[in-house]
Structure 1
């Protein structure tokens, strides 16, 4: 269940296992008639994973680009941030910002957040750093990353 799935998860090769799972789900979706351009890749930060697993996914998120679909990531206010920083859920803005920046640096295209305005700023800044041709865009311009509430 969502309450206990992170208590003692075990993986032999986390990235390979998540990749293979997502690849299988993509194949099933395509076989079921869902167009490829409707598919997104979400490695499931916080779902069936412990803190070290979540951090490994954030470090190696770029591996999922090989699946050929946009990567969506949702780290906003997650409990692993609270465990690392020793903060309550409403005090995780900075930790969320760090994970958002890392995800964008690793190739995430869509970021799901609670605190839209500050994370949109993080996303715009990261786009300026890591996305070719983005630097120099006028202030307030749109980022290449989707900013959804």
Structure 2
């Protein structure tokens, strides 16, 4: 299993990395703008670090199709000053920028971001150029060909896992061929994006087939619709389902976990790592 190098950090095969979500958006589906204000976003990063985050993923545009359009200039204004502030406050923290736009990615990397989380599967091809030019890491995602901020009317696959796997491997290899560092590439099946709940459950169940490609797998499961639809629960009651999916994904080989609930995610991953034998218990005393 290949090591993953992001900035100063190297994550080996037995490491699980928590990627904390901090959105400078006024209309996030999860927190409805709780971290939109600059000071609130900085405080959220501080809290995430204290709770065990290895990476922070900073975004300036919501993924959903509702809400106003956000221009590239507005996105830069929301994201880049926060990236710079976090880079100064937490120099050991890996900063990721959640954007599909090359111009936003370039500004964010110049300000201190070390990973480009392109959740819209190369919609803007200049994003890959930024990763190649700067040495930043790069997340290869799968969205079923959707344009940014759209939802599939009907998602149909023959075998969703085989098709997602094939496309992710092809796109990861193409990124490396374009000059992106091989040890900085992650693949993300991108649950919910261009997929039904059944597809997202199947991808979780068979995630080992993606991990077996050798590319480090990132999963973004936190409070998503497939969890809500599976349990028939609203966003504010989806934590337990998210953590169940997190544990199964970790067991099946995922290595980076994008999460709103950092402390809970860290505890689940540490427990999975201990059960697998990759990490010792923190305070073993019973009957010793």
Matched residue, 2:178: 32
Is residue 191 of structure 2 the alignment partner of residue 45 of structure 1? yes
Q: TM-score, normalised by structure 1?
A: 0.86
User: Contact between 2:221 and 2:245, CA under 8 Å: does it hold in 1?
Assistant: yes
Q: CA deviation at 1:3?
A: 4.1
Matched residue, 1:146: none
Q: Comparing both structures, which one devotes a greater share of its residues to strand?
A: 2
Larger radius of gyration, structure 1 or 2? 2
Task: Give the paired residue count.
Answer: 136
**SS of equivalent to 1:17:** helix
Matched residue, 1:137: 281
Q: 1:81 to 1:133 in 2, by over 3 A?
A: closer
Matched residue, 1:9: 155
Q: Cα deviations across residues 25-71 of structure 1 (Å, max 9, x unaligned)?
A: 01210111111101001111111010100000001000112321211
Which of 162, 167, 175 is residue 21 of structure 1 equivalent to? 167
**SS of equivalent to 2:187:** coil
User: Contact between 2:151 and 2:193, CA under 8 Å: does it hold in 1?
Assistant: no
Matched residue, 2:230: 84
**CA distance, structure 1, for counterparts of residue 166 and residue 278 of structure 2:** 33
**SS of equivalent to 1:41:** strand
**CA distance, structure 2, for counterparts of residue 91 and residue 3 of structure 1:** 25
Matched residue, 1:93: 239
**CA distance, structure 2, for counterparts of residue 40 and residue 58 of structure 1:** 16
**CA distance, structure 1, for counterparts of residue 217 and residue 177 of structure 2:** 21
Supply the RMSD in Å over aligned alpha carbons: 1.3
Q: 1:44 to 1:133 in 2, by over 3 A?
A: closer
**CA distance, structure 2, for counterparts of residue 113 and residue 18 of structure 1:** 22
Q: Comparing both structures, which one devotes a greater share of its residues to helix?
A: 1
Q: TM-score, normalised by structure 2?
A: 0.45
